[in-house]
Structure 1
Amino acid sequence: MNSVTRIPRPHPASMPPRTETRDRAAVTPTDRSHPAPRRVRMEEVARVAGVSPATVSRALKSPETVSERLRARVQEAAARLGYAPNRIAGSLAGARTPLVGVIVPSLTNSFFAATLDRMTTILEAEGYQLLIGQHAYDAAREERIATAFCSWNPSALVITGRDHTRGTVGLLSAAPCPVVEMWDHDDRPLDTGIGFSNREAGRLAGRYFAEQGFDKVAYVGAILGQDARARARSQGFAEQVRHLAGQDPLIADAKSRELGEGAAALRQILQRQPDTRAIAFSGDMLAVGAMFEAARMGLRIPQDLAILGYGDLDIAAHTNPPLSTIRPPHDEIGAAVARHILHRLAVPEAQSENVDLGVRLIRRLSA
């Protein structure tokens, strides 16, 4: 199910503190168009920091030339205002580059690779180039990348998820270009949001297990402490199992998304809960690793143990038996983000959007 809500972009001062991804909520459409935000000027940073613009310039471009105390004052003011120096201001003052900055957690994750590939195909055909950064699920690193990208005066900025540091929120809220938060959906994006509810994806898995009558179930999530999206899916799964089956599922945290971690997770689950009947995983590769391990242990799938993945990677349809999984709209996100950006650049008065592309359960023989 796809839904689109058009919303005005909120002023930075009205933004609430970022919290974990929330449940899907109805948002009333509005007729107001999206006003382009104004770039924060160096003079404003200087006024807040109580120094001259020249000192701000030195503190940010040559920090070794000012005292540590002064540098900290300037950096704090810059972060509070969402200021990023314009690297091309000398020759192209105010001009946008044909760059679209895209920040993802990982370049090895095939989900994001598919999204980037689709975006590249559409945007390059219109003369734009992707500037790609990865932060390895490190929020502080994400902020540093966002700061660097803003300084190149991009035509648009795309960032993965809705959970950011306060500094990143300030930068994106003040960016004088379209900003898209992708791969998550909740009721209040900074500008435009295009994605789906990870919590709802987890609920879908929990609901399916409950409908199948599995009485002992578990969820394996990769790096739940760092990956807010995997964590939201595990929470949605637990909520639905608790609500429909009246039990608390076993939740296990895998160290990575690799095959070997799936095997290790299966052993851990069966050691902690020997009568486990069904396991959902936060990624297909974890699920496939568990299937390999189950075969080594003499367990039949799905007769002895049902396995459900997430991602619908190419391998999912070719395992033995084929892997049941939940399919996020990775290609669709890339296409929707690219087309939204092109529309916003062609029609400056175009509105922001909040788009939920939904997820699908792909039922195969493993569950």
Structure 2
Amino acid sequence: MRFQILTLGAFAAVAIAAAKPGLPKPDKDGRYTISAPGITAKFIPYAATLTNLFVKDKNGVERDVVLGYDNTTYYPVDPGHPVYNAIPGRYVNRIGNGTFTLDNVTYYLEKNDGDNTLHSGTNNWSYHFWNLTALTADSITFEYHDEAFAEGMPGRVDASVTYTLTENTWHISMTAESPNVRTPIMLTDHTYFNLDAFANPDTDLIWNHTFYLPYSHRNLEADSGALPTGNILEPEENSTDDFYSAPHQLGYASGNADWEDHCGSGCHGYNGQFLFDDDVPEGAVVAELSSEWTGIKAELRTNQAGLVVYTCNWSDGTAPLKSTQGLDGRPAVVNGDGCVALEAQDWVDGINHPEWDRLDKQIFGPGQKYNWESSWTFGTL
């Protein structure tokens, strides 16, 4: 996987050069901080990445509940490139067989995930520094200008993401436009959570977190490579993919026969997409993640049609924790099953499944604007 090496000085130079003149400079580590009552967030221009998210637990202790690195210069050089809390694009998740056809032209992309393309390949937006264009005490905006065929797709795309904090809530708003030709656009916020901040003395894994999808009665069937087959499933109550009938711990189905390889060959747990119902009330909480140990709960609202859930099967214990996380006496690393990535987005590989009727949500051209909105509200049980 391709990556570039930047020294601390080079990182600082790029971060400053990418900022609009007159804006405040980052701290000595290259981070920008915004805050509101009950919540503080830190960001870097590389991939428009959230590096830290602090909220209070049931005892009033401030917890950093997202994954990341203390050393901000490591984000660009991490060979694993897990897309920690970043914005990939221009088309996220998998594209089957690394190809798609648009307006009678077939495009061939880099296959960086077995036979498929993941997040548009290894030149996707999460491998690049974004421009900082606005910064206030509670809001920050980054922009990225993606040239035509940078990932093998036609047309220039101009994109922006604005992160805003209000009391106990993190808002994410993304827009994108292709001013010249029609092209695929599908984005997500790729945040990894551990609401215990890896400090729970009983476990550093994610299976004790409770998850609830009250408006998700369907999911996309996937093959051994986590690519949708085209089939739409309706899981029965208390089956492995049932998070709609009642809140369940993420590991509640670990004894089921289909737990192993459930998220692809060699993958246990989850790495697939749950679809939201067509009649979700406007502004409804479509997903809730909580931890009994910290008492922290996180509620998701979004205008997207589904949620990809990945329970970090492939984490291998080599990625370090931040100094704001962990427990003395335990290795400060992210073990397999130690986190959950929750990625609101449209239907995965919809550009290759016209029978789903998602093309108007995933193909954009001159005069059209792509709009992605989500918010996470934090509280206690």
| TM-score (norm. length: structure 2) | 0.27
Q: Identify the structure with bigger relative contact order (alpha carbons < 8 Å, sequence gap 6+).
A: 1
Q: Whose radius of gyration is greater, 1 or 2?
A: 1
| Structure that is richer in strand per residue | 2
| Structure that is richer in helix per residue | 1
